[in-house]
Amino acid sequence: MQNRQLFINNQSVDFSSDDEVLPLILQVNDLGDITSLQGNGSKSFKLPLTQNNRAILGFPDDITIINNLPYTKQVAKYIVDGIELVSNGFVEIIDIQNNEADVILLFGNMDFLDLLGGQIYDMGDSTTFWSGFGTNLVWQAYSLPDPTNLSDLSNCIWDVPHAAYSQQKTDGWIWPIVNYGDISTIPPFTGHINVRNIRPAFFVHTAIELLVKSTGYSINYAQSCLYNDPTYANLYQKLLVQFANSDFEHGTDWQNTPDNLGENYSLSKDQIISNPRVPIVGGSNIYTQGFPFQGVINFGSSDHYPATTNVNFTATVQFDIYLKGRYTGQASVCTIEFTIVDVDGSIVDGPGEISIQLDGNYTRDSGVGGNVVGHETFLNQKLASYFSLVTGQKLYVRYHINNIGQGPQDTYVIIKKNATFTIVTDETLVLWQQPIQCERILPDIAQIDFLKDTLQRFGLILISDPNSGTIIFTSFKKIVENIPNAKDWSLKCYDNGRQIGFQIGNYNQVNYLRYQFDDNIPLNYMPKYFADDEITINDLTLNPTQPTGVLFESVFAPSINVPYIGGTIAQISSPTSTDEFSVGSQPRLLIDQKLNIGNMGLSVTFSDGDPGFETETITINDIVSVPYFYKPDMPDLSPAASHLAWKDMPNGKIEFPSLVQSTNPGLRSVYYPEFEEILTQTKKITRYFYLTPLDIQQIDFTIPIYLRQDASYFYISKIDSWVKGNLVRVDLIKIG
């Protein structure tokens, strides 16, 4: 008889009998599919629909009762022999059959991963489930500036001070010196950075911390190798996601929040426009040639739209117009157009115009041959154009009447009342001096895909503990290092034989580790697969019909280098493009490098324009950020990898190509030797154990077990269907 209790929503449920089983499954990483993230849970089990259980589960068998409980994750706790095996799990109802509810209990990684759904961009949308409908807007801490303190570097703004003064930042956002096609790469370098032509980056470790925080979990920094082991931390803490999108866009909430900058003007009465000709004194039927006549349409209290801040918008004029004038000869034309008055008072013609002249529907008033005069009313005329104005500029709607010759006829125009001039602002694109919502620096991918990309780069295992609400990042390296701390399960093992497998999972003989390929970068600048590598398993029985396959493919692409102060910097744009922001189609990952230009007697000036046209400048003469993906003169980050290529790469400048060139270890060499060893002559052992509730409560997947029966150490891959008092199947991977 089991002394066990299952609580759902803090209420104890009924089991159908004392021998009803609730089989638990425990695992964090299935070595057979290292690209997947596994979690703890149970196999499905049945609960009788007693009145008690029906009330707890929300009467799931009664379709007439409107209740949301059957559609939600219901908080659960599972206790065996007084030991809480699951303190913070949840139950989901699968279906109802024969007066029983088929349910499943989930906990551990499954809870965390379930909470980590949605896209990264969803985290800036207060209306989505994934942001908790606005309760988990964790990215706002880096995205909403204090309007009274624009020098506050906790928030990201597109301006000179934030770019210049962010160079020494090691978390959150930063404006590193990355070439988008504008920075001089020919020595001697000017040291001038037009901030309008660069884009921000975001530290990976901050992004991961925000993703975890959004779920309600926290990172156990003391036990996570990403923070406590320099082999990982020296690289991880410097990783940057560099902006590489085609459009520099605001976050969802910003785009959906009215900015109160739009306007809607209306003509309250007809505006009459005429262009009379003046007779020449002493002449006979001779009139002045005249000049083109133009002016402003006066919409009510204002004749223009003033830009009180930098603003993008669509301006639209809709109107009915009456035109009387010449139909033949030099025809009368009235043109409606936009005009911008600059801050200094200069006039610039805006984009777009609409010209009105008599057509075949006109009414003839007088004249013959080339002097026919008539009139016509044109309804529902519309002119719309897109504008980007800066503070202080003004937008007018102007009219222009042409010269119709030497006759006495007027060009006579009436802009009918109720004509409208509307301004609809566009909150999509980030404008100069506006704040940036930092989740938009990252690519628009699922949160879990971003997390998995980081785990795979370092060969990490994710372990979440729902009882403490913490996350641990550990590694195969750590598990091997823990062999001296292994638990001896020899006496728990029921020696009824064993099953030995010589393969785990669907691996190939050659398993590629790859980055995305950006086909906008010519192959002579960045050869395909130059940063990739492979894990080779010397086993000819592995997938003989398909011996090669991709094990990992990062969501990021490599970046090339261009010369700059102190060596090189990353270039995002295509080197063959004339467009400064032809950034390609793939996201970019870089390593932050702090360069002390003060020690070199140099300085870098950040400005709001090109040399000679800037109005604001800040000069930095100490530390600047010059990130890279890989370069031969990379700084030494050992014991971590010093570059982001999967394979080992040349180290140092190649002055004598005929000599053997030293290499700098890549990600595979640094973070995957233990995993490669596991895959080499794999031994997967399946054995059966008697495990107590205390054993289950104390399971630590980072601690190997030792079996005298096999004289070997093992990684626990999976505990399958544990029930107190029963033998449980355990899949083990030999590691020593």
Q: Which domains does the chain have, with CATH numbers?
A: 4-107 (no CATH), 116-157+201-249+443-485 (no CATH), 258-425 (2.60.120)
The three state secondary structure string of 122-173 is HHHCCCCHHHCCCCCCHHHHHCCCCCCCCCCCCCCECCHHHHHHCCCCCCCE
Q: Which residue has the higher pLDDT, 519 or 660?
A: 519
Q: Does residue 580 carry a pLDDT above 80? A: no
Cis-peptide into 639, omega within 30 deg: yes
Q: Does residue 556 carry a pLDDT above 60? A: yes
- C-beta contacts of 655-658 below 8 A and 24+ residues apart: none
Q: Does residue 1 carry a pLDDT above 80? A: no
Biggest CA-to-CA distance, the chain: 129
For residue 164, which amino acid is it?
A
Summarize pLDDT for 8-21 with one digit per residue, the tens: 999 999 988 766 67
Report the predicted TM-score, pTM, of the whole model to 2 decimal places: 0.86
Residues 196 and 609: beta-carbon distance below 8 Å: yes
Mean pLDDT of all residues belonging to the chain:
86
Q: How far apart are CA 261 and CA 408, in angstroms?
A: 46
CA angle 20, 26, 28 (to 5 degrees): 160
Which CA distances in Å does 146 have to 143, 155, 548? 10, 8, 54
Summarize pLDDT for 421-434 with one digit per residue, the tens: 999 999 999 999 99
Number of helices followed by number of strands (H, E) in the chain: 12, 45
Q: How far apart are CA 735 and CA 466, in angstroms?
A: 28
Predicted pLDDT at 583: 60
Which CA distances in Å does 125 have to 115, 246, 252, 260, 446? 16, 21, 5, 20, 14
Q: How far apart are CA 202 and CA 183, in angstroms?
A: 21
CA angle 588, 193, 573 (to 5 degrees): 30
Q: Does residue 190 carry a pLDDT above 90? A: no
Cis-peptide into 188, omega within 30 deg: yes
Q: At what angle do helices 204-215 and 447-458 cross, to 10 degrees?
A: 130
The answer for residues whose C-beta is within 8 angstroms of residue 601's C-beta and 6 or more apart is none
Summarize pLDDT for 416-470 with one digit per residue, the tens: 999 999 999 999 999 999 999 999 999 999 999 999 999 999 999 888 887 788 9
Predicted pLDDT at 289: 46
Q: E strands, 20-70, where?
A: 24-26, 40-42, 45-48
What is the mean predicted confidence (pLDDT) over 240-257? Answer: 91
% residues pLDDT > 70 (the chain): 88
Q: Does residue 402 carry a pLDDT above 60? A: yes
Which CA distances in Å does 71 have to 59, 66, 68, 93, 136? 11, 11, 5, 8, 22
Q: Which residue has the higher pLDDT, 119 or 367?
A: 119
Predicted pLDDT at 152: 65
What is the mean predicted confidence (pLDDT) over 552-561? Answer: 93
Q: Which residue has the higher pLDDT, 26 or 406?
A: 26
Predicted pLDDT at 652: 72
Q: Does residue 264 carry a pLDDT above 60? A: yes
